[in-house]
Structure 1
């Protein structure tokens, strides 16, 4: 199963699809499972499919050896003439976000790198933060710092910051025990957070130009290694 590590050098693509209804979500999931199960693309490492929880939608977390391999896939006639039109028809919104992992933190009680697997029960949160290109590095430096206090937050498992290759966004991919734990953390009053965390959040809010989020659970995964 895939693992998250900034040291692996992988290109990570987040394919984020939104649908109007749960039935529409199931159609996208079925179509995506078929693509994943038949993937043989040069440079493709793994794909992990997520089903939306709070809102209908899907997220496909895809690891590639690098940008060249991904662009070869995007340039293929099958992708341009079949795959893109199909998902534009099934989904109300399609986002293909090219990123690199820059920072990972995991609860100290959990061993190893964060794993993505349908055998796990992670409540996954994906947040996309828009930012002006000239401010992306500052936003990343502000948010991607160790937060030891999270070890005491009930339900916290891990979070990772990914840098958008085009310079206009960051992605936060976080794993929690469940919805109740994450909602409690999200709603935690600012005064109950450490002072340095409050300062960083305030600075980040001044830099962020947009925020998009949804929650998921992993339903399918496959890698090139079987």
Structure 2
């Protein structure tokens, strides 16, 4: 089941290439049903809109609804990971308590910290189409060497230039980094945040849709050293919060 795109203005989309971003945090919640998913977004908005911006080192906070009618993705941009930990100590508990009061029994499925490595743009410079779908692909590697992950990303971007994907607006590739215990992971990962014009274009791309070189390009990426598999989730952008847009109630 797909979740509907929001009918009200969602706020600004984040700039993933923003140079001040020292840490990008991604986490996932499970709400359970489309109704609870929508209620959770409303509770998040009420909680954040009614409070002052918590820290100057938080550059943006963004919420996305999964097309499965269950999950929500949280994406926050920080000047550094330490700023996030300070927020957790000083501000997170009261905000989570308000959200949980409105929608009990939300499942928190984990959080990871990343840094953007490279990006790809599939649109002419100066154009900014609004994405109808955001796909987040979590890629696993079987060795910790960061060079393997960088080489894989470089090859993906080279492939995208050689075999264009109609409907792909952009793809931003992030490397996971070590953090404190609750952020750390023994998984060597790449997170690809891709913006698409719509779900139809994405479906055509993953089916290759008769594109020359499509299957060969995919096989090349799967066979690169270190690649251990991937999983993807589809989202709609629900709300974006930035300094100056909250705390006005």
Q: Under a length normalisation based on structure 2, what TM-score does the superposition of the two structures give?
A: 0.74
Partner of 2:221: 200
| 1:109 and 2:130 correspond | no
Q: Give me the whole-angstrom Cα distance separating, in 2, the residues matched to 1:132 and 1:19.
A: 31
| Distance verdict in 2 for CA 1:162–1:129, change over 3 Å | same
| 1:25 and 2:46 correspond | no
Please, which of 22, 28, 35 is the counterpart of residue 10 of structure 1?
22
Question: 8 Å contact 1:155–1:178 — kept in the other structure?
Answer: yes
Partner of 2:205: 185
* Runs of 4+ with deviation above 4 angstroms: 194-197
CA RMSD of aligned residues (A): 3.1
Q: Under a length normalisation based on structure 1, what TM-score does the superposition of the two structures give?
A: 0.80
| 1:212 and 2:231 correspond | yes
Report SS of the residue matched to 2:224: helix
Question: 8 Å contact 1:100–1:163 — kept in the other structure?
Answer: yes
| 1:124 and 2:140 correspond | no
Please, which of 159, 162, 170 is the counterpart of residue 149 of structure 1?
162
The number of aligned residues is 217
Report SS of the residue matched to 1:73: helix
Please, which of 83, 88, 96 is the counterpart of residue 83 of structure 1?
96
| Distance verdict in 2 for CA 1:13–1:156, change over 3 Å | same
| Structure with the largest fraction of helix | 1
1:31-70 counterparts in 2 under 5 A? 31-37=43-49, 38=51, 40-42=53-55, 43-70=57-84
Report SS of the residue matched to 1:40: coil
| Distance verdict in 2 for CA 1:135–1:184, change over 3 Å | farther
Q: Once structures 1 and 2 are overlaid, which stretch shifts more, 41-50 or 124-133?
A: 124-133
For structure 2, the residue ranges without an aligned partner over 5 or more in a row are 1-11, 179-184
Q: Give me the whole-angstrom Cα distance separating, in 2, the residues matched to 1:193 and 1:39.
A: 48
| Distance verdict in 2 for CA 1:39–1:100, change over 3 Å | farther
Question: 8 Å contact 2:53–2:244 — kept in the other structure?
Answer: no
| Distance verdict in 2 for CA 1:55–1:40, change over 3 Å | same
